Every structure is written in structure tokens, then in C-alpha cells.
């Protein structure tokens, strides 16, 4: 794992700063066997190049094999039986007719529920025969049959008898003291291999669990109440955000193949290891008997961890039927039961001095993630802007609705929507330019803070910020305005990440990691880093991922892959290179330390006679197979926080976004006409793929700001818009002009200095659009999404900063 304290270290000078913006030298303590620091991208050959995605041809020809496409001999198809009521005790499940249906091979009834909070004390509820139904659409059982049609038909024949319990699906109703309770006692949501988790041991009254006071992030700090009373200016506002569903194009699902000698799982997942570990734990198998394969994952956005209830069903069915079983959720099931971003109701008070300096942040928040906990609103209050007095009281409110799951910058998207609007309002109150206010308060000195400083000013110049007019400047009903908001995310690292690099006798090179690719380009960045170290081109590297038989990789979540995996890959390639140089040097009669790898050749600079093509050099060195494995060492400056699941760097990831919107004040329709996004991700390994992720973050942010919202019917608990034709997402026609700029920020934290970008690209968008809405109309929109009803309601409010 991380370097033990006894690891020999060396003193190392590293480059520090934003390339093109004044670089300095800094000193770092670096493990002795780590490679020397890389130069700026402009001086490198493969890293930093916008080369095509390694698997692009497979994707455009239909050859990329997703879990959805896996077809094994004798494979059965499974369908789940789900609850048709939102809250009930199940008294009987009669599967006899389903079992008789032609083609049915196995039936399995769930004995537990994953993806849900659990009672702290199980005695708070009489032990039920079957798991209590707590939302409509909760899986109860599964059927495996020879065809999909047969599984679907048989699932309809299962007769479930319910003893109904009162239910509640609305956040405000669920908070009332007389509301029906979703759980009859306090709950916990323990983090598992499947992810998730909420702060333990919190009080719970009825459906309201909390407050979580942000202890994990060092809160509370100072005395926010007192500081608010003494502040020169206070901005006090209430914000509401909606429940958003993930809608990955490939739904959740697995193909499970249970055999006597072990279990093989093909999984659409963001973390192969979590699938292996959860399956092993649930079925009492040693981990070496469980293999998880994920060649391609069709999106995840946070919700694809672990085996889930669908995985429990599929694995059990495979075991019962003695055949591989494919269980992919259908689109409705995906919306209802596979995760969502919780709603939020945030009461945020900010206190400041007359010059803008922040003196207090006080937040009371409530949100619902259905039957799962996790409705906090991020860590921006604690870590983004220095402020001596910060209190957050965050609450989960349980409702009879599908479970939440992590969703691209969980909590932070909601939190920043409120925080960055309140700061915009503060600037307005103080007659300050919003950028000047950020210059005053965004001064922590961390890498992300430094990046944002550069991003604000670059963005303002490119976007035409100087042409910003006073709020509500347009006289007619169509009102245009611009706004900006800032992003913040933590640098999350998966410390056990390692990578193997292998050279074989013909000079071919391979690298291996269990990490998967959800669309970010894992194979590509891995190949680029290994190629750079060995003086080769990326397309010469076999880049093999998505198999738990390879060395452990990071989860594709939290903007964690590139920052975790590329240093391990470079370290391994460096070991291979030095080993090869040591074997070659005696043949060439040179000092091994003088041997370099460049342009497909190996040799000693200044000695033309020593240079050999890579393949010949491998042969001359007598290599049959040469392999090394290396780990992701700790950040050179150490971590701010280490948990069993992840580590957090001392510096975050920044980003600043600008929006240009047009509001039709008669119809309430908001259109985003133009966005500009300036982002940092340490060293961009492949700027093209980085840009793609930023486009995606901005587009998802617009979609969240303007359109997306899960609708539940309070009376029945039915999810009313659980399909793509009913749940509005940005499509081609709503995509505005988007301009992306990427900083190259070197900070001397690892052997590649790479960080992620997926979450920060999504964090600031809704707030930037909301601030532009204010600039257009002179009215604040504090409720998402900005649908006509919410817009017209906001426009009817009295004007106020």
C-alpha cells in the first residue's frame, strides 16, 4: 500500500505552478525508488497528447462488448419481481405458477435488502418473514428462464400478498412528527464493498436522521451563530433541489456464472473489486474464487458499485439453475431502484465583513434519498473558502422511495448550487463584482484555490465578463444575462492501486489493472503513461483492464482513476525500464543509469553506436519476460484524510464556469445559450479525453439545472416518469455552445501529478446558470429544476439581491 515510514526517501526538486503562468521549484520528500519528476507536457512525447481513445474503433464498430452484450452458452435470462405497493409487510410469496411456466429454470426469493439503510437495532421491528417493502418497485424475487420473454411472463405470475402500511414519499410530509415512519427505529448505513455509508450513530426522530455536523471535515468550527449576529452583512436564503436519476445508457446488471470451482461475474460496474468483494462476502466464497470482468461499462455516474439486489438475485439463480444467468435491469427498474441524487432543502446563512471577507457560514439542510441515507450537501462549506465560523447540520429524511446512490460529486452539486448563489447575492449586496469577491475570499492557497484564481481571470477574459450588464437590463420579456460560479472537489486517491507492466521477448509491452472504464478513457491514459516511460507510442502498448485477476485498480468514482492509476503505472514502467537497462548495459558496455528510452529506441545519449530499436534491445538483453508491479505511493505531501475506502489529498480540484442564459419571462422557459468552463486536473494526461469529460459535466449540469426531476405520486408511491420519454434530459437540441479551457497545473504530488476532472466539471454548472438567471431577470431562482412553474414563481417574488 502506501510507503511505510521506513521506505528510503530522497529530497526532490519538483516543478510547481500553472504552466504558462509562472513556475517555481518546490522541495518534496519522495520515495527513493520513484522515477524522477516529469517535465511539462510540452516537453513530453506521449503524455499530454490528445491521441484518440484506445478503444474508439471498437466503440464505433459495435465490437466493444458491454455486460449487456455478454452471451454465454446455456445462458438464462432473469427478471425481477418487484413490489407494487410502497410500504408493506409481505405475508406470502407464491411462486408456484411461475415455476410451472414453460422455460423457467429457477426462482429465488430475496432474504435481505442491499442498497438501503438498516435498523440499528433489528428488534425495533418484529422479524419479518420476507424483507419489509419500503418503496414501490423494491425487488422481492427473481426468475431465470430460457428466454427473456419467459422470464418476463413468469415474473408476472408470482403472487405477492401484502399487509399494507402507511407510506410517505414527499420530503416535507415525511418531516412532520405525525408522518408514517419508513423505519420504525434509528438506522445506520454502513459503508460496504458496494460503497455508500453515512455517518454512524446519529440521532433519528421519525424519518429525520441527523444532524450530521460534518465532523469528518473538521466541523463545526468557531461560533457561527455569534459571528452571524456580529456580521456586517448577512445573506440568508432557502434553496431546494430535486431528485435526479442517473440514467446510464447501459442499465445496471450482471451475468453471473456459478460453477463448482468458482464464480465468474460480468458486471456493468464502476469498481470491479467492489463486485468481487461483495459477492465473496455475501456467498461466503474466498476472493480468489470470484472473478469479475468488465470490458466496457455503459456509464455509471456514481451508482454502479457492488452487486446490488439484482446481483444477489442473479448469483443465486445461477447457483440454483446450474447455468449462467443474465440480469439486466429494464429502464423503469433502473430509474426506480438503481440510485438517484437526493433532493435538498437548504437554509443557508452567510455572514461577511463589508469588504467581503467571510465571517460565518451556517447551514441547515434536509434531503431525501428514499430508503437510503446520503443526502448531505457536500463539503464546500468546510473546505472551499477560508471562514473561521462554520456550522453545518445536515439531515437525511427517509421516504418510501428508491434508494439514493453516489451521483457525480455527491452532495457537492447541491451544496454549491446554494453556496455560489448566496455568494453572488453577497457580491450584489456589497456592490462588488462577483469575481472580485471570489478574489477576496478564495485565498486558502491550496492548489485548487490557486487554479481557480487563474481560471476566473482567464474565463472572464474569454467569456466577455466585462460586458456584463446590471441585473434585469433588458426591457422586453426576453431577458439575457451572464453569471459565473466556482467548482471545488477533493483529490480522492485509492491507495491500494497498483499496476503491472510486462515486456515479452518480441519487445511487446502490456500493462494490467483491474480498473474498469466507464467512458473516461482508462485504457488510453494507462497506455500513454507506460509508452512515455518506455519511449514508445501509446498504440504499441497492450492496455488490459477490467478484470479482478489483474492488480487492484481504483473505482471509477470521485474523480479518482487517473490520479490513482497513472502514478502506479508510471512507477511500474520505470522499474521495467531500469531493469531492462541493467540487463542491456553490460552488453553495450555502458553504465545502466546512462541508458535512456526514446523514440522507439534504447541507448545512451551521445553514443550513437549504442542505440538499438526497442525490440532488438529487448532481445539483446536476453529478456524472455520481464515484469514489474508497482503501487500508487502516498501523495508526496501526504494526505489530509485517510479512510479504509479512500485517501484525500491536501489540495483539491478547482474549476470555474460561466453561463449565458436567455429567460422568456412570459413563458418561464430558460435557455442556456453559451457556457465556458475552465478546469484543472493536475497534469492532463490526454487533453482530448479531459475535454470530453468536461463537456459531459457541463451538459449534465445544464440538464440538472433546467429539466431533470423524478416525480413520485404521493398517493400511490408510483414513480411517474420512469423512462427516457418521460424524464427530460438534455438532448442534441438543448446543447449550447460550450468552450472548454484546461490548465496544466503541476504540484509535485505523485510521479505523474495527474488528478481527475469528472466531478468538478459537473459541480458549478447549475449555480452558474442560476447566477446568470439573476443577472438576466433581477430575481433569484432558488428552486431546481428551472422549469416554467418554478421560473414564473421566482419571477413573481419581490426583487432582492
Partner 1 sequence: MTDISRAAAVEPAAADAAARGQDVLGPEPVLLALFVNGREHVVRVDPATTLVEVLRRELGLTGTKIGCDRGACSACTVWIDGEVASSCMTLAFDARGRAITTIEGLARGDQLHPIQQAFVEHDAMQCGFCTPGMVMSCAALVDRNPYCTRDEVKAAISGHLCRCGAYPNIFNAALAAAARMQTGHAGKERKA
Distance CA 538, CA 522 (A): 13
Angle at CA of residue 412, ends 694 and 792, nearest 5°: 85
Residue 470: exposure state from Cβ atoms within 10 A (0-12, 13-18, ≥19): exposed
Go through 687-717 and write b for each residue having 16 or more CB atoms within 10 A of its CB, e for each that does not.
bebbbbbbbbbbbbbbbbbbbbbbebeeeeb
CB-based contact 305:271 (threshold 8 Å):
yes
User: Which residues inside 319-338 make contact with partner 1, applying CB under 8 A?
Assistant: 330-331
Shortest gap between Cβ of 392 and partner 1 (angstroms)?
A: 31
Cβ closest to partner 1, residue 530 vs residue 740: 740
Q: Which of 250, 447, 680, 759 binds partner 1 (CB under 8 A)?
A: 250
55 counts as binding partner 1 under rule CB under 8 A:
yes
Cβ closest to partner 1, residue 270 vs residue 665: 270
Shortest gap between Cβ of 361 and partner 1 (angstroms)?
A: 31
Q: Which of 97, 149, 205, 461 binds partner 1 (CB under 8 A)?
A: 149
Q: Which of 66, 162, 283, 801 binds partner 1 (CB under 8 A)?
A: 66
73 counts as binding partner 1 under rule CB under 8 A:
no
**Parallel, antiparallel or unpaired: strands 737-743 and 669-680:** parallel
Cβ closest to partner 1, residue 297 vs residue 564: 297
Shortest gap between Cβ of 673 and partner 1 (angstroms)?
A: 14
Distance CA 328, CA 67 (A): 9
Return the range that interacts with partner 1 (CB under 8 A); candidates 248-256, 351-359, 657-665, 771-779.
248-256
699 counts as binding partner 1 under rule CB under 8 A:
yes
Take residue 78 and report the three cell numbers written for it. Answer: 432473469
Shortest gap between Cβ of 762 and partner 1 (angstroms)?
A: 10
413 counts as binding partner 1 under rule CB under 8 A:
no
Return the range that interacts with partner 1 (CB under 8 A); candidates 110-118, 156-164, 294-302, 472-480.
294-302
CB-based contact 269:300 (threshold 8 Å):
yes
Take residue 444 and report the three cell numbers written for it. Answer: 486558502
Shortest gap between Cβ of 69 and partner 1 (angstroms)?
A: 4
692 counts as binding partner 1 under rule CB under 8 A:
yes
Return the range that interacts with partner 1 (CB under 8 A); candidates 442-450, 464-472, 504-512, 517-525.
517-525
Q: Smallest Cα–Cα separation from 399: which of 135, 124, 722, 178? A: 135
Shortest gap between Cβ of 297 and partner 1 (angstroms)?
A: 7
467 counts as binding partner 1 under rule CB under 8 A:
no
Q: Which of 95, 389, 520, 543 binds partner 1 (CB under 8 A)?
A: 520
101 counts as binding partner 1 under rule CB under 8 A:
no
Distance CA 668, CA 786 (A): 8
Q: Which of 127, 215, 470, 733 binds partner 1 (CB under 8 A)?
A: 733
Shortest gap between Cβ of 342 and partner 1 (angstroms)?
A: 19
Distance CA 479, CA 502 (A): 60
Between helices 765-777 and 788-796, what is the axis angle to 10°? Answer: 50
Return the range that interacts with partner 1 (CB under 8 A); candidates 47-55, 227-235, 286-294, 535-543.
47-55
Q: Which of 181, 443, 729, 792 binds partner 1 (CB under 8 A)?
A: 729
User: Which residues inside 661-690 make contact with partner 1, applying CB under 8 A?
Assistant: 688-689
- For the chain, the distance separating the N- and C-terminal CA atoms, rounded to the nearest angstrom, is 51
**What's 326's DSSP letter?**
E
756 counts as binding partner 1 under rule CB under 8 A:
no
DSSP, residue by residue, 346-400: EEEEEEE-TTS-EEEEEEEEEE--TTS------SHHHHTS--S-EEEEEEEE--S
71 counts as binding partner 1 under rule CB under 8 A:
yes
CB-based contact 362:394 (threshold 8 Å):
no
**CA-to-CA separations, 408 to 421, 559, 673, in angstroms, rounded:** 20, 9, 24
User: Which residues inside 563-602 make contact with partner 1, applying CB under 8 A?
Assistant: none
Q: Smallest Cα–Cα separation from 656: which of 467, 456, 439? A: 456
Q: Which of 103, 186, 220, 299 binds partner 1 (CB under 8 A)?
A: 299
Shortest gap between Cβ of 545 and partner 1 (angstroms)?
A: 14
64 counts as binding partner 1 under rule CB under 8 A:
yes
Q: Which of 370, 410, 696, 778 binds partner 1 (CB under 8 A)?
A: 696
68 counts as binding partner 1 under rule CB under 8 A:
yes
Return the range that interacts with partner 1 (CB under 8 A); candidates 105-113, 118-126, 151-159, 513-521.
513-521
* Backbone phi, psi, residue 599, to 5°: 50, 40
Bridge partner list, 55: none
Distance CA 254, CA 239 (A): 38
Cβ closest to partner 1, residue 153 vs residue 680: 153
262 counts as binding partner 1 under rule CB under 8 A:
no
Contacts of 61 (CB under 8 A, 6+ apart): none
CB-based contact 69:137 (threshold 8 Å):
no
Shortest gap between Cβ of 23 and partner 1 (angstroms)?
A: 29
Cβ closest to partner 1, residue 576 vs residue 740: 740
Residue ranges in contact with partner 1 by CB under 8 A: 52-53, 55-66, 68-69, 71, 148-149, 246-250, 296-299, 301, 330-331, 518-520, 688-689, 691-693, 695-700, 723-725, 729-733, 735, 738
Amino acid at each position: 500500500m502506501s510507503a511505510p515510514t521506513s521506505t528510503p526517501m530522497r529530497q526532490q526538486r519538483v516543478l510547481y505552478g500553472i504552466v504558462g503562468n509562472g513556475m517555481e521549484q518546490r522541495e518534496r520528500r519522495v520515495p527513493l525508488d520513484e522515477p524522477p519528476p516529469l517535465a511539462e507536457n510540452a516537453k513530453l512525447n506521449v503524455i499530454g497528447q490528445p491521441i484518440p481513445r484506445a478503444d474508439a474503433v471498437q466503440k464505433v464498430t459495435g465490437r466493444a462488448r458491454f455486460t449487456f452484450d455478454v452471451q454465454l452458452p446455456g445462458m438464462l435470462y432473469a427478471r425481477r419481481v418487484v413490489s407494487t405497493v410502497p410500504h408493506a409487510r409481505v405475508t406470502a410469496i407464491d411462486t408456484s405458477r411461475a415455476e410451472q411456466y414453460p422455460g423457467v429454470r429457477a426462482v429465488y426469493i430475496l432474504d435481505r435488502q442491499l442498497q438501503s439503510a438498516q435498523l440499528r437495532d433489528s428488534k425495533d421491528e418484529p422479524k419479518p418473514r420476507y424483507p419489509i417493502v419500503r418503496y414501490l418497485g423494491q425487488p422481492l424475487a427473481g426468475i431465470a428462464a430460457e428466454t427473456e420473454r419467459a422470464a418476463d411472463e413468469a415474473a408476472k405470475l408470482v403472487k405477492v400478498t401484502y399487509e399494507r402500511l402507511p407510506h410517505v414519499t414527499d420530503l416535507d410530509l415525511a418531516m412532520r412528527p405525525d408522518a408514517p415512519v419508513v423505519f420504525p427505529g434509528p438506522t445506520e448505513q454502513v459503508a460496504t464493498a458496494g460503497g455508500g455509508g453515512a455517518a454512524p450513530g446519529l440521532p433519528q426522530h421519525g424519518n429525520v436522521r441527523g444532524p450530521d455536523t460534518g465532523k469528518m471535515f473538521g466541523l463545526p468550527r468557531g461560533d457561527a451563530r455569534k459571528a452571524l449576529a456580529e456580521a456586517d452583512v448577512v445573506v440568508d436564503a432557502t434553496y431546494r433541489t430535486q431528485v435526479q436519476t442517473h440514467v446510464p445508457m447501459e442499465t445496471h446488471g450482471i451475468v453471473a456464472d456459478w460453477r463448482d470451482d468458482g464464480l465468474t461475474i460480468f458486471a456493468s460496474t464502476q469498481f470491479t473489486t467492489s463486485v468481487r468483494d461483495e459477492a465473496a462476502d455475501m456467498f461466503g466464497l474466498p476472493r480468489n474464487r470470484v472473478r469479475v470482468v468488465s470490458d466496457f461499462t455503459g456509464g455509471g455516474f456514481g451508482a454502479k458499485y457492488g452487486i446490488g439486489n439484482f446481483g444477489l438475485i442473479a448469483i443465486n439463480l445461477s447457483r440454483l439453475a446450474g447455468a449462467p444467468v443474465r440480469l439486466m435491469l429494464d429502464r423503469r427498474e433502473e430509474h426506480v431502484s438503481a440510485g438517484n441524487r437526493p433532493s435538498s432543502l437548504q437554509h443557508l446563512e452567510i455572514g461577511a465583513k463589508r469588504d467581503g471577507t467571510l465571517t460565518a457560514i451556517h447551514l441547515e439542510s434536509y434531503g431525501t434519498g428514499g430508503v437510503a441515507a446520503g443526502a448531505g450537501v457536500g463539503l464546500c462549506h468546510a473546505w472551499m473558502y477560508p471562514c473561521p465560523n462554520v456550522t453545518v447540520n445536515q439531515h437525511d429524511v427517509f421516504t418510501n422511495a428508491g434508494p439514493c446512490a453516489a451521483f457525480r460529486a455527491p452532495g457537492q452539486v447541491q451544496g454549491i448550487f446554494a453556496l455560489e448563489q448566496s455568494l453572488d447575492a453577497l457580491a450584489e449586496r456589497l456592490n462588488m463584482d462577483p469575481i472580485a469577491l471570489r478574489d477576496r475570499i478564495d485565498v486558502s492557497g491550496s492548489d485548487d484555490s490557486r487554479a481557480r484564481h487563474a481560471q476566473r481571470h482567464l474565463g472572464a477574459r474569454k467569456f466577455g465578463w466585462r460586458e456584463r450588464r446590471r441585473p434585469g437590463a433588458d426591457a422586453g420579456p426576453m431577458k439575457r444575462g451572464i453569471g459565473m460560479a466556482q467548482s471545488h472537489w477533493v483529490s480522492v486517491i485509492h491507495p491500494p492501486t497498483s499496476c503491472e507492466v510486462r515486456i515479452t521477448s518480441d519487445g511487446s509491452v502490456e500493462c494490467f489493472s483491474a480498473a474498469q472504464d466507464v467512458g473516461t478513457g482508462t485504457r488510453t491514459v494507462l497506455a500513454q503513461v507506460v509508452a512515455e516511460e518506455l519511449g514508445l507510442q501509446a498504440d504499441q502498448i497492450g492496455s488490459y483492464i477490467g478484470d479482478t485477476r489483474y492488480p487492484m485498480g481504483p473505482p471509477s468514482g470521485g474523480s479518482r482513476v487517473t490520479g490513482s492509476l497513472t502514478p502506479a503505472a508510471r512507477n511500474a514502467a520505470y522499474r521495467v525500464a531500469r531493469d531492462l537497462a541493467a540487463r542491456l548495459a553490460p552488453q553495450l558496455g555502458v553504465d545502466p543509469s546512462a541508458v535512456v528510452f526514446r523514440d522507439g529506441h534504447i541507448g545512451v545519449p551521445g553514443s550513437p553506436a549504442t542505440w538499438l530499436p526497442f525490440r532488438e534491445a529487448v532481445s539483446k538483453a536476453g529478456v524472455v519476460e520481464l515484469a514489474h508491479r508497482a503501487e500508487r505511493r502516498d501523495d508526496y505531501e501526504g494526505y489530509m484524510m485517510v479512510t479504509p475506502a479512500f485517501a484525500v489529498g491536501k489540495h483539491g480540484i478547482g474549476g470555474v464556469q460561466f453561463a449565458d442564459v436567455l429567460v422568456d419571462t412570459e413563458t418561464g422557459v430558460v435557455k442556456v445559450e453559451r457556457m465556458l468552463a475552465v478546469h484543472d486536473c493536475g497534469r492532463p494526461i490526454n487533453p482530448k479525453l479531459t475535454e470530453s469529460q468536461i463537456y459531459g459535466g457541463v451538459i449534465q449540469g445544464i440538464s440538472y439545472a433546467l429539466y431533470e426531476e423524478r416525480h413520485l405520486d404521493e398517493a400511490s408511491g408510483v414513480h411517474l416518469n420512469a423512462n427516457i420519454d418521460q424524464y427530460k434530459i438534455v438532448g442534441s437540441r438543448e446543447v449550447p455552445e460550450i468552450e472548454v479551457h484546461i490548465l496544466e497545473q503541476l504540484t509535485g504530488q505523485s510521479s505523474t501529478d495527474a488528478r481527475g476532472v469528472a466531478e468538478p466539471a459537473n459541480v458549478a454548472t447549475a449555480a452558474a446558470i442560476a447566477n446568470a438567471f439573476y443577472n438576466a431577470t433581477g430575481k433569484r431562482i432558488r428552486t431546481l429544476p428551472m422549469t416554467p412553474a418554478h421560473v414564473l414563481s421566482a419571477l413573481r417574488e419581490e426583487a432582492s439581491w
